[in-house]
Chain A
């Protein structure tokens, strides 16, 4: 077997290994990807009021993280892997906290990591 053929064989093997590794990493990333939602809350105007929003969302099944931005009135909800949040639940949760849901959008779709512009 010539030197060139041996080199080509080694390159193919390395390529296969790298491809398998890439697939593995991608698959692992897909499993860990989480659904993230942006909830727009009307009426939210002081720090003390935000705790009601935080507490009510923390009791929703699957909610892992809650980040509130008072200035924009938005709440970013990060769900645990495999869990989703629907608009009806978000609306009821915001209402239970004493405020009004204006808009609801999914900003990160779990497996494909799509972000809205």
Chain B
């Protein structure tokens, strides 16, 4: 009886939301704030909401295995942040994903694809250090959260069950945590984040854990000099993401053709007003040290908006 209820709840959750290893492989940043690819320590006002929508195109196609694999993914990632207090903010991240994998096997070109709600990520961030002076602020905030298995993780097609990297959800509950620091002045902003995500097993498969080191520099390009009131800011952005993923495990054994280390650089632009932000950039893998025949990234394109309400 209890098992039946759990199964029904799981099915219900799957109809309303989803998570995945998507959060890790897409490197989707958290919620508000300035960086495009990760979080910030800037505040969400108490009892107020902030919304972010980001669209991500992820292309991988440099295949050393000879199977001529080509993997493409599109994600529409919605983020809602809420200020519980001026120091504590909670966030929910829900992606809609559309993934495809083309490969040649025994001379036949095959396409495997799926789409749907991905894995829901929930996390909290607490500001432990805050130093405010006129026109500048420095903050440090640890964050902890969990990626929940709301995405479909057992999708099949004519060739059988889709591989885990193509499923919309991971099927596993994956905790993560980290620390983010932000220095913001009227002219520029610097953000840095270190984080670790523990991917757990589901369906006899376990994605490798992910360790990340992220940094972002934003410089006000316009207006060159500040007038009165609250003008819109145009920032030029340069972000770096050093991401290491351990090898995946299938049936308890490590997959030698998975995991590795990638360094991304992302130039971008961001226009910031009092109520909304529009932003975009292209993430380019400048260093890829992957294990075995793991599929290499070509690029990621990110654009989106944020809204204060």
Contacts and interface: CB of A to CB of B under 8 A. Distances in A.
A42 B274 contact: no
B107 interface: no
A97 to B, nearest CB: 5
B230 A98 contact: no
B47 A42 contact: no
Main secondary structure of the interface of B (DSSP, over half): loop
B137 interface: yes
Interface of A: 40, 42-56, 67-73, 95-100, 102
Contact of B184 (A46, A53, A55): A46
A44 B273 CA distance: 14
A46 B45 contact: no
B275 interface: yes
A70 B45 contact: no
10 contacts: A43-B133, A44-B137, A45-B136, A45-B137, A47-B233, A52-B48, A52-B308, A70-B226, A98-B43, A98-B86
Interface of B: 32, 34, 42-48, 83, 86-87, 127, 130, 132-137, 184-186, 189, 226-233, 272-275, 277, 306, 308
B186 A49 contact: no
A47 B274 contact: yes
Contact of B227 (A71, A73, A96, A97): A71
Contacts, number: 104
A43 B137 CA distance: 4
Nearest to B32: A48
Contacts of B306: 48
B65 to A, nearest CB: 45
Contacts of A70: 186, 226, 229-231
B272 A46 contact: yes
Contact of B46 (A68, A96, A102): A96
A56 B45 contact: yes
Nearest to A74: B134
Nearest to A67: B229
B48 A50 contact: no
A97 B46 contact: yes
B47 A96 contact: yes
